[in-house]
Amino acid sequence: MLAISGIVQIVLALVLAPLLQSIINRTKAVFAGRRGQPWLQPYRELWKLVQKGTVYSRTTTAVFVAGPIVGIAAVGLALALVPIGGWPALLSFPGDFLLVAYLLGVGRFFLVSAALDTGSSFEGMGASREVLFSALAEPALLLSLTALAAASHSASLTGIYAAIDSGMPATAAGPAIFLITGAMFVVFLAENARIPVDDPNTHLELTMIHEVMVLDHSGPDFALIQYAAQLKMWLLGSLLLGAAAPFRFGSAWLDLLAGLVGLGAIAVLVGIVESSMARLRLVRVPQFLIAASILSIVALFLVMR
Amino acid sequence: MLHDQYVTVHNSQAFDCDESLLPDLERFRQAVLEAVAKGGRIAALSARPVNDGDSRIVAVVAFDAEGVLQVFSSPVAGEYPAIAADCPQAHWFERDLWEQRGIVPLGHPWLKPIRFSHACSRGEAADDPSPATCGVTDFFSMSGEEVHEVAVGPVHAGIIEPGHFRFQCQGESVYHLEISLGYQHRGIERAMLGGPAVRTIHYVETASGDTSIGHAMAYCRGVESLSGTHVSPRAQVIRGIALELERVANHVGDLGALAGDVGYLPTMSYCGRIRGDVLNMTAVLCGNRFGRGLVRPGGVAFDLDDEAVRQLTRRLKSAAKDTRVAVDLLWESPSVMARFDRTGALSPELCNEIGLVGPAARACGVPRDVRRDFPFGIFRFAQIPVSTWDSGDVFGRAYVRWLEIQRSLAFIQEQLDALPPGQILSPVGALAPNRFSVALTEGWRGEICHVLSTGPDGKFDWYKIFDPSFHNWFGLAMALRNQQISDFPLCNKSFNLSYCGHDL
């Protein structure tokens, strides 16, 4: 039973993750007075890329090829550890939240290495920005998860998110959960390259962070990168949702449905944020990320008090 | 009119080619430097070929406060002492002069061609310095452990014109930016020679596609001054309306694009739509959204009937209302202001030193506007207040645009309400032989300068076009110093200069 529920979650993630991007795009379209792209557009784009050939620059090596593959493998493995809607994840053991955080780190390390491997000054610039910002976002994520672990007296993600339910915000840990939600939302925006940290729609190489790192990837390699990014959004969204809106209805299927609806709601929220504010100046981004770390440190103090 | 060796004229006033001759190059150089020291601004500097391969160097210095132009000229052959060494404004002009005529400005601080010309448009000079291969040229470079170079373009990720930008950076901050243009060179000035011909007006209308009205007006006023044509008041008003509609459309588009560059979607989406509405108003005037075919020597080719006036009045009101809503969103968003404020700032001193024009100069607090300083056409009778701001940064350039949008809209409405009667197109006679004229127009980017001269047969024997971009590209390079490289697209958009208008 445990295995089946884990597999159901992974299948849902694999199938529905690109839809989050559709929801964001649609939300932005509503604000801009446009109709927006078709719901299945992200899937079509992945399909289009998969059918294409790959172009490799003569200056690149195996590192460049490894980037997208390790990236998707790392995110895929991390997905198996992250529960949604209070369901147990496929795999769980004490301390698995550390593994999740560092699996994301491994994926990023290879993607950054691939970018540096091209020798392009653009990609080098993007890589340097990505590393700086993720180095600042990582403590916020880890401290938030540690605070959640302390609040729920559990050291595995499945245990943590099973313990957090509708009643928890009313307890002493409530304020901490509130701060953690804030911190994790910032991490969610930064790690998924959304406004105000990055602008996924820009065509201006000099301002890009994530996008400029993957300029040289093409065809199936690029599809893997896109898909890995969509899965990562699903993964971080699940972590955020479990803390922000731990609604439980007494029925496992209803809980799962609530989780899916919640992920959609996060996507809508991202769309609203992107429609209502400009990007931060690049030099201000570290302050924004450090603020998230501070929120999670305060949360940690609150639960350990 | 004649002062010892040079001429003082008004905007688009014809004069004799030989009236402004100074005896030698040292006197010429001295005269230009003195004029600039007295508050003049170089509007044009180039060399005009005269018979049997000789050239005459010609400088037009504009005195904004007095509203007059001083024209200096002197015979030149081979080389001359560079003016740019003492007067940074001349920098770009002298590179253009060297490239086109092969005349070497000795002691020029950074002498290299500004364009990549191709065979059909090369100057007559045998030693044309333009590189044979597009894109191959020297670049300013820096060395050191922490300095790295970022090269952008000429092929860009967006659908924009080609231009190469080379940054010398330390980490994220820019020491120096060098801009290398010239990929769009079409040889327009050369094609103008021997005109006016059937195609001439189309060349000027496409000199910079988004400034069709501005360039066509400068050309037509030059031709009218050389042929002594009188333009009816009704035609002047219609030209004025078209020029201001062009300004409003482009300024609205720019504000939207600035919002887009910082990722602020609401203003970007609204302004994109409103720009289209304003372009459609130009289409009501003449059937073309960019005003092609409207302005013709002698007046305008399309009249406005009562129905069109009513329609324009109605559309104007709704455009004014929509623009206010969309643009106010910008000023009210702290996240947008945080990006605009103090980004890419230029001081008024620097602005004067390098001779910026248009909204970029007015954003530095320099009240420079051809419509007021050298009034032409309808602007001799109906003034538009000059809009300035004092910060010189991206915000300043955006805000000046917003002020100008409002004032232009009010001006258009005023003119529509009091449209004088009369015919719209006067017959244009032959051009007087051996005459010279300088026509300035305030296009939406700033001062457009056309310098025309006719040979003994009354045909153009020389034609120079200076788009405002020619003056302002260097301003963009200066604005980037000590800025974040990630702010370059935003600064670039705040100038929004023309590549093809520069490359011609």
Residue with tokens 């092969």: B102
Residue with tokens 């290398």: B180
Rounded average pLDDT over B236-263? 93
Q: Are B443 and B215 in contact (CB under 8 A)?
A: yes
ipTM of the prediction: 0.86
With CB atoms and an 8 Å threshold, state whether B158 touches A203: yes
Mutation target among B156, B174, B486 for the A interface, most CBs of A within 10 A: B486
Tell me the range of A193-197, B139-143, B239-243 where mean pLDDT is highest.
B239-243
Residue B324 belongs to domain spanning: 219-457
In a domain? residue B251: yes
The one-letter amino acid code at B128 reads D
In a domain? residue B395: yes
Contacts of B106 (CB under 8 A, 6+ apart): B79, B80, B81, B82
Residue with tokens 């560059």: B261
* Torsion of Cα atoms, A216 then A222 then A224 then A225, to 10°: 60
Q: Alpha-carbon distance B121 to B394, whole Å?
A: 36
Which residue of A28, A122, A278 is in closest CB contact with B335? Answer: A278
What CATH number does the domain containing B412 carry? Answer: 1.10.645.10
E strands of B108-218, at which residues? 147-152, 164-170, 173-180
pLDDT band with cut points at 50, 70 and 90 for residue A1: low
Rounded average pLDDT over B284-299? 91
Using the 3D structure, point to which of B76, B97, B121 is the last residue of a domain.
B121
A282: chain B residues, CB-CB within 8 Å:
172, 484, 486-487
Of A103, A111, A106, the C-alpha closest to A212 is: A111
Q: How many CA atoms lie within 13 A of A82 on its CB side?
A: 31
pLDDT band with cut points at 50, 70 and 90 for residue A169: low
Q: Are B215 and B208 in contact (CB under 8 A)?
A: yes
Q: Provide the shortest C-alpha distance from residue B110 to chain A (in Å).
A: 26
Using the 3D structure, point to which of B442, B457, B472 is the last residue of a domain.
B457
With CB atoms and an 8 Å threshold, state whether B259 touches A284: no
Residues B302 and B448 in one domain: yes
Using the 3D structure, point to which of B83, B104, B121 is the last residue of a domain.
B121
In a domain? residue B500: no
* Torsion of Cα atoms, B79 then B82 then B83 then B87, to 10°: 160
What CATH number does the domain containing B34 carry? Answer: 3.30.460.80
Chain A residue whose CA is closest to B174: A206
In a domain? residue B166: no
Tell me if residue B435 falls in helix, strand or coil: strand
Q: Indicate the pTM of the whole model.
A: 0.90
Q: How many domains, in total, are found in chain B?
A: 2
Q: Alpha-carbon distance B61 to B44, whole Å?
A: 7
In a domain? residue B274: yes
Q: Alpha-carbon distance B189 to B203, whole Å?
A: 9
* Torsion of Cα atoms, A204 then A206 then A208 then A212, to 10°: 90
E strands of B195-336, at which residues? 295-296, 299-300
Q: Provide the shortest C-alpha distance from residue B481 to chain A (in Å).
A: 15
Mean pLDDT of chain A: 90
Chain B residue whose CA is closest to A283: B484
In a domain? residue B446: yes
Q: Are A77 and A103 in contact (CB under 8 A)?
A: yes
Determine phi and psi for B296, rounding to 5 degrees.
-135, 150
Chain A / chain B CB contacts < 8 angstroms: 88
pLDDT of residue B237 exceeding 80, the answer is: yes
**pLDDT tens profile B55-64:** 888 999 999 8
With CB atoms and an 8 Å threshold, state whether B172 touches A282: yes
A210 touches chain B (CB under 8 A): no
pLDDT band with cut points at 50, 70 and 90 for residue B111: confident
